Amino acid sequence: MLAPTRIPGFRFIHSPGPTRVPDEVMHAMQRPMMDLMDPRVADLIADCEAGMKRLLDGADSDVFFYAANGHGMWEAVAVNLMAPGKTLLVPGGGHFSDTWAQLIEVLEAAVSGSGVQRTPYREGHPIDAAAIEQALRDDREQRIAAVLAVHTDTASGITSDLAAVRRAIDAARHPALFVVDAVASAAAAPLAMRALGIDVVMGASQKGLMMPPGLGFAAVGARAMAWTQAHPGARFYWDWARRKSDQQYRKFCGTPPLAHLQGLRAALGLIEQEGLEEVHARHRRLAGAVQAALQCWAEAGALRAHCKVPAAQSASVTAIEVDAAQRERGVDPEAIRSMARERFQVAIAGGLGPLAGRVFRIGHLGDMNEATILGALAGVEAAMSTLLVPFGRGGLEAAIAHLAQARVGHA
Ligand SMILES: Cc1ncc(COP(=O)(O)O)c(C=O)c1O
């Protein structure tokens, strides 16, 4: 047990979720409960639905909210789209697509002849759109019901090109639905449902939406809605067809999570106040500062960017790999992480799945700015210095130089 000592100032949270929650959102979540017939509840729900549609360019979609995390939303997508004899195609994109596919494999037993198919994953690379096209072309009987793409794989810090996935589906002339996991990209990177013909976007509250964990969402377009209505199955809480209703109680399959909805309305307001384009530009700018620092750190040979395709480096999180030889000499990503958090008050993330013990990750999404990102980078440098990790000097200066020359929309 860590001693409950007071932290003067505050601890920076630079994990890629949960992320920092702004005061406006915290305060909104503390508002008193309302009775469900209070017309303000209907307004609250309508505001959240409309705000999510604007955020996702999903004007034609139905937005469903769940008291759930990202795993819950994965299950919601799976049980609404799985059908006897039908397959879901999960393009390989790292730890999170792998876990989504595993979840479907567990559910398979309940739906006869259903299944999941994956495309190969190359470590350090985004989703291979050509492999999706090939899988769809090979699917002559059109068993594949949907392509389930993770936009940003939070474990590797890689963002895949959704337009390329769209082109692959079109090139194969396949009717598969296009479903996107936006858990780590919503409100951090551009994601346009209508423009890209995306049928479902699912996500969760604790990352770009700047909220505590616990609220999941699915924006469901007309084709996906028609699919789920035509393929009833053993689902109740997750069922989109059941939730498509004007009655609040039914829409939420029970009591709406009012505090989270209050928080979401406040968060969407903050995003709109800043302007969605500027929110995206800020994420790119801060990500660029981390990458500028990493380029310097990497010069000593012990650290490198895990992402091998610079254009696919995500705006949300950067995964930093420790060289195998250095790990054998005792350079431990988990030790860097603990030192940064406990001694220098900067919380970063570690490696997940096959990257456990190999990488540490700096989150740069949600409610952050130049000062917080520079503070995070300084904390990581301080942790590495304390642990005698060999890293190239000048990272902080490079990050400052990057930020100094960047254009800021509202400055
Ligand atoms: C891309 C992505 N999908 C899904 C999940 C699962 O979300 P949760 O941890 O809220 O269940 C995560 C979690 O980090 C994620 O990053």
Mutate to test the pocket of ligand 1, among 103, 154, 179, 352 (most ligand atoms within 8 A of CB): 154
Single-letter amino acid code for the residue at 326: Q
- Model pLDDT, residue 199: 98
Could you tell me if 29 and 263 are in contact, meaning their C-beta atoms sit under 8 angstroms apart? yes
Mutate to test the pocket of ligand 1, among 15, 73, 74, 96 (most ligand atoms within 8 A of CB): 96
From CA 65, how far away is CA 236, in angstroms rounded? 14
Could you tell me if 377 and 392 are in contact, meaning their C-beta atoms sit under 8 angstroms apart? no
From CA 91, how far away is CA 83, in angstroms rounded? 19
Burial class (CB in 10 A: 0-12, 13-18, 19+), 140: exposed
Does 156 have pLDDT greater than 90? yes
Does 155 have pLDDT greater than 80? yes
Show the tokens assigned to 2.
């860590």
| Nearest atom (ligand 1) to Cα of 17 | 14
pLDDT digits (tens, 9 = 90+) for 80-109: 999 999 999 999 999 999 999 999 999 999
Show the tokens assigned to 168.
């692959």
Compute, in angstroms, the gap from residue 39 CA to the centroid of ligand 1: 33
Give the closest residue (by CA) to ligand 1 atom 8: 70
- Model pLDDT, residue 2: 66
Average pLDDT over residues 380-385: 98
Q: Which H helix or E strand runs over 339?
A: helix 333-342
Does 393 have pLDDT greater than 90? yes
> Within 10 A of 58 (CB to CB), how many other CB atoms are there?
22
Token look-up 């480096």 returns 313
Q: What are phi and psi of 74, to 5 degrees?
A: -60, -45
| Nearest atom (ligand 1) to Cα of 74 | 4
Give the closest residue (by CA) to ligand 1 atom 5: 70
From CA 59, how far away is CA 368, in angstroms rounded? 28
pLDDT digits (tens, 9 = 90+) for 314-332: 999 999 999 999 999 999 9
Could you tell me if 40 and 373 are in contact, meaning their C-beta atoms sit under 8 angstroms apart? no
Give the closest residue (by CA) to ligand 1 atom 4: 70
Compute, in angstroms, the gap from residue 69 CA to the centroid of ligand 1: 7
Burial class (CB in 10 A: 0-12, 13-18, 19+), 253: middle
Average pLDDT over residues 350-376: 97
Tell me the H-state helices in 140-235. 162-171, 193-196, 222-230
Give the closest residue (by CA) to ligand 1 atom 6: 70
pLDDT digits (tens, 9 = 90+) for 5-31: 788 898 999 999 999 999 999 999 999
Could you tell me if 269 and 48 are in contact, meaning their C-beta atoms sit under 8 angstroms apart? no
Start-to-end CA span in the chain (Å): 45
| Nearest atom (ligand 1) to Cα of 16 | 14
Ligand 1 binding pocket (C-beta < 6 A) is 17, 69-71, 96, 150, 152, 154, 181, 183-184, 204, 213
- Model pLDDT, residue 128: 98
pLDDT digits (tens, 9 = 90+) for 202-248: 999 999 999 999 999 999 999 999 999 999 999 999 999 999 999 99
Give the closest residue (by CA) to ligand 1 atom 2: 183
Could you tell me if 31 and 168 are in contact, meaning their C-beta atoms sit under 8 angstroms apart? no
Give the closest residue (by CA) to ligand 1 atom 7: 70
Compute, in angstroms, the gap from residue 411 CA to the centroid of ligand 1: 33
Nearest to 48 by CA among 38, 33, 58: 58
pLDDT digits (tens, 9 = 90+) for 33-77: 999 999 999 999 999 999 999 999 999 999 999 999 999 999 999
Compute, in angstroms, the gap from residue 239 CA to the centroid of ligand 1: 21
Q: Which H helix or E strand runs over 47?
A: helix 39-56
Number of H helices, E strands in the chain: 16, 15
Beta bridge partners of 318: 362
